[in-house]
Amino acid sequence: MTLEILYQDEWLVAVNKPSGWLVHRSWLDRDEKVVVMQTVRDQIGQHVFTAHRLDRPTSGVLLMGLSSEAGRLLSQQFEQHQMQKRYHAIVRG
């Protein structure tokens, strides 16, 4: 299984996280075999470092640094509100 890479440069990668996927391994579901971080790492051939998370049922753009420093800086930008996540809910019924 592969994920859609929306953007990649020397510092970061942005992927389209499907609904139902965990971002990383978690005690919430120890038996889960497919997670975004592992899939992206296998796909691009290098370690990735999460800048933020999206809940399992949420789909959308997920940013990851390609170094621990890039991941830390991206994460800080979210924490300091220099970057924002915007959610759009699609409901039926």
Which CATH number applies to 5-79: 3.90.79.10, 3.40.50.300, 3.90.1150.10, 3.30.2350.10?
3.30.2350.10
pLDDT in tens, 19-78: 999 998 777 777 777 889 999 999 999 999 999 999 999 999 999 999 999 999 999 999
pLDDT of residue 54: 93
For the annotated catalytic residues, the residue numbers are 55
- Name 60's bridge partners: 17
Kindly report the backbone phi and psi dihedral angles of residue 28, in degrees, each rounded to the nearest multiple of 5, phi listed first.
-65, -30
CB half-sphere exposure, 78, CA atoms < 13 A: 15
pLDDT band, very low/low/confident/very high, at 85 (cuts 50, 70, 90): confident
Say how far apart CA 87 and CA 92 lie, in whole Å.
Answer: 16
Amino acid at 20: G
Whether the per-residue pLDDT at 13 is higher than 80: the answer is: yes
Tokens of 39: 């899939």
Q: What is the mean pLDDT of residues 81-85?
A: 88
Spell out the domain ranges in the chain: 5-79
The 8-class DSSP code of residue 18 comes to P
pLDDT of residue 62: 96
